[in-house]
Amino acid sequence: MARPNPELIDALRRTARKLTEGAPYQWGHMGGCNCGNLAQELTKLTKDQIHAYAMQRYGDWNEQVQDYCPTSRMPIDVVISEMVNAGLSLEDLKNLEKLSDKQILSRFPLEKRFLKHNQRDDVVVYLRAWADLLEEQLLEMIELPDLHVDRSYTPV
């Protein structure tokens, strides 16, 4: 699962919002699919740039991630490296493309867990649920100091 951090949570929510507002979505387009839309937010590249980088090698996101090499300097590997540096794991990218992370899906009622990976609305609910999950995990990691209030103090 992704490393919870405010920047990643915000990128997931921005991606969901943009898709809701009509951002280009095309599951078969490497820059306009599930991973492609999130990559746009994390890298600030356009969908066409991401697609062109991906087309320098074969395959969909799953295959690109499988063949990922952080030192290759292939443009798509640089994109994937930026996504990993933002807190995502390679498994997260595979799951995002298929909307298949069990931990995220378990947040939905049983009858709503069968999301279609190439449906904009399903991508939006998945991204929002993922952002909520990461935010909860981030909040659990925060430890506040024990605030001892000195009740004997009286202001002058």
pLDDT for residue 86: 97
Domain locations in the chain?
A: 6-140
What mean pLDDT is reported for the chain? 92
Block residue for tokens 């990128």: 11
Q: Which among 82, 122, 90 is positioned nearest to 104, based on CA atoms?
A: 122
Q: Residue 28: its pLDDT value, please?
A: 87
**In angstroms, what is the C-alpha Rg of the chain?**
19
pLDDT digit string (tens) for 70-124? 999 899 999 999 999 999 999 999 999 999 999 999 999 998 989 999 999 999 9
Among 33, 53, 42, which Cα is nearest to 86's?
42
Work out the average pLDDT over 57-76: 93
- pTM surpassing 0.95? no
Q: What confidence tens digit (pLDDT) does each residue in 5-15 have? A: 999 999 999 99
Q: Tokens at residue 109, please? A: 């009622």
What is the Cα–Cα distance from 112 to 110, expressed in whole angstroms? 5
